[in-house]
């Protein structure tokens, strides 16, 4: 029930009460028309005032209601804008966080790539140069052995020579380079040579000095070990049975000596060409000042760099194992040839004994007759 309705109801009730009072008063006698008229007028005025006040209250209530509706609209809009702003701010914050996380992840990836790129092991350029030098030296050594056997070993397979001339050349070379103090004291030489005793010093085969005189000394040692070349047959004897037998025996001798000559020349060439680069590669990791630098560098290397160096060390070990294998193969070949020589010597002794027994038995039968 509205306020206006309540006012109207109050006014009507008042008018009803007034009318009742007038009627009651009139029934008791002495009713005067003036009183009735005044009471009616008062009731009419009251109803009019109440109506005006109700209309005014209705208008005021309507205005206030409009104010309240407008305020609610504004508040609702403000709440919507605030919610949208909060959502936008939250979205921007989440996007910024995601961008930061992505940047950090990208940076970590870039750092890892850069670290892996820079972690190539200790002195990668220097090590690469060392590896190439070693590989080139090994190729040179392998291809040089057959050539230098033919040109530097005087008694190599299939070669003949005038022994007097070769002996004279060796003596001249000895007086020029290899005279010892003992030679001087004996009157063989007038002064001590540059490399005293170099033509008989087998230790020089393992010397890495590649000067011309040292190479000549190593060649002289090997030639003295292998011996003098065989003399050529006279032309008239070559096609005879004796000449054929001589050539056959020379081939057998050259084959046996070839194994020894190959081993000695391989040792010489490895010493002259391979030992220095191999020592440099090994010294990268052990026993040198560069090995100390390498050990210190490992502390700053990433895991990839350490693994790279481990692989390089293992590769160097494989190369050493390959050299050991080649050396063992040469040793096995020489031992096999030595065994065959021993076998031939044993067979010759058995044949000689058998021949002696046969001769003794034949002599005994002749005596018995």
> For 324-344, what is the mean pLDDT?
89
Q: How many percent of the chain have pLDDT more than 90? A: 30
pLDDT band at 288 (very low <50, low <70, confident <90, very high): confident
Burial of 40 by CB count in 10 Å (0-12 exposed, 13-18 middle, 19+ buried)? middle
363 is a domain residue = no
User: What is the residue range of 34's domain?
Assistant: 3-88
> For 233-262, what is the mean pLDDT?
88
Residues 217-227 pLDDT 10s: 999 999 999 99
Cβ atoms of residues 228 and 166 within 8 Å:
yes
50 pLDDT higher than 80: no
23: which 2 tokens?
């009627």
- DSSP 8-class letter at 231: P
pLDDT band at 17 (very low <50, low <70, confident <90, very high): very low
pLDDT at 23: 44
20: which 2 tokens?
């009742």
Output 314 or 54, whichever has higher pLDDT: 314
76 is a domain residue = yes
Q: What is the DSSP string of 194-218?
A: SSTTTTT-GGGGG----SHHHHHHH
Output 200 or 23, whichever has higher pLDDT: 200
114 pLDDT higher than 60: no
Task: Outline where 28-162 has alpha helix (H).
Answer: 33-118, 124-152
Provide the β-strand partners of residue 160: 230
Burial 258-281 (b: 16+ CB within 10 A, else e): bbbbbbbbbbbbbbbbbeebbebb
pLDDT band at 115 (very low <50, low <70, confident <90, very high): low
pLDDT at 51: 72
110 is a domain residue = no
CB atoms within 10 A of CB 106: 10
pLDDT at 57: 72
299 is a domain residue = no
pLDDT band at 300 (very low <50, low <70, confident <90, very high): confident
20 is a domain residue = yes
pLDDT at 112: 61
Residues 84-95 pLDDT 10s: 777 777 777 777
102 is a domain residue = no
pLDDT band at 267 (very low <50, low <70, confident <90, very high): very high
Cβ atoms of residues 160 and 232 within 8 Å:
yes
pLDDT band at 143 (very low <50, low <70, confident <90, very high): very high
Output 197 or 299, whichever has higher pLDDT: 197
41 is a domain residue = yes
127 is a domain residue = no
* Averaged pLDDT of the chain: 80
pLDDT at 111: 57
pLDDT band at 22 (very low <50, low <70, confident <90, very high): very low
Domain total of the chain: 1
pLDDT at 116: 57
Cα-Cα end-to-end distance for the chain: 179
> For 223-235, what is the mean pLDDT?
90
pLDDT at 27: 43
Three-state DSSP class for 161? coil
Kind and range of the H or E element at 285? Answer: none
pLDDT band at 242 (very low <50, low <70, confident <90, very high): confident
Output 43 or 112, whichever has higher pLDDT: 43
pLDDT at 341: 83
274 pLDDT higher than 80: yes
The phi-psi region of residue 139 (left if phi > 0; otherwise alpha if psi is between -120 and 50; otherwise beta) is alpha
pLDDT at 205: 93
Output 310 or 42, whichever has higher pLDDT: 310
365 pLDDT higher than 50: yes
12 pLDDT higher than 70: no
């Amino acid at each position: 029930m509205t306020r206006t309705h309540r006012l109207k109801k109050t006014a009507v009730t008042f008018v009803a009460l007034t009318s009742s009072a007038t009627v009651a008063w009139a029934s008791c006698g002495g009713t005067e028309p003036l009183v009735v008229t005044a009471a009616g007028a008062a009731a009419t005025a009251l109803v009019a005032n109440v109506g005006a006040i109700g209309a005014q209250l209705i208008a005021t209530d309507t205005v206030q209601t409009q104010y309240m509706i407008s305020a609610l609209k504004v508040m609702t809009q403000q709440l919507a804008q605030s919610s949208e702003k909060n959502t936008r701010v939250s979205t921007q914050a989440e996007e910024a966080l995601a961008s930061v996380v992505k940047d950090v992840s990208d940076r970590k990836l870039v750092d890892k790539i850069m670290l892996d790129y820079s972690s190539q092991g200790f002195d990668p350029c220097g090590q690469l140069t060392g590896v190439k030098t070693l590989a080139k030296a090994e190729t040179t050594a392998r291809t040089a052995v057959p050539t230098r056997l033919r040109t530097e070993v005087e008694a190599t397979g299939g070669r003949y020579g005038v022994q007097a001339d070769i002996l004279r050349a060796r003596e001249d070379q000895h007086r020029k380079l290899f005279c010892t103090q003992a030679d001087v004291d004996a009157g063989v030489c007038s002064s001590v040579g540059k490399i005293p005793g170099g033509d008989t010093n087998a230790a020089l085969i393992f010397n890495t000095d590649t000067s011309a005189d040292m190479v000549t000394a190593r060649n002289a040692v090997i030639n003295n070990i292998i011996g003098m070349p065989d003399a050529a047959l006279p032309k008239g004897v070559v096609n005879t049975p004796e000449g054929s037998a001589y050539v056959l025996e020379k081939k057998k001798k050259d084959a046996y000596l070839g194994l020894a000559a190959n081993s000695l020349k391989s040792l010489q060439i490895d010493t002259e060409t391979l030992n220095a680069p191999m020592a440099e590669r090994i010294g990268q990791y052990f026993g040198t000042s560069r090995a100390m630098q390498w050990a210190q560098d490992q502390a700053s290397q990433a895991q990839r760099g350490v693994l790279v160096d481990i692989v390089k060390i293992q590769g160097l070990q494989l190369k050493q194992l390959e050299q050991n294998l080649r050396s063992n193969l040469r040793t096995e070949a020489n031992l096999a040839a030595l065994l065959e020589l021993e076998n031939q010597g044993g067979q010759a002794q058995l044949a000689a004994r058998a021949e002696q027994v046969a001769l003794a038995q034949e002599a005994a039968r002749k005596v018995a007759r």
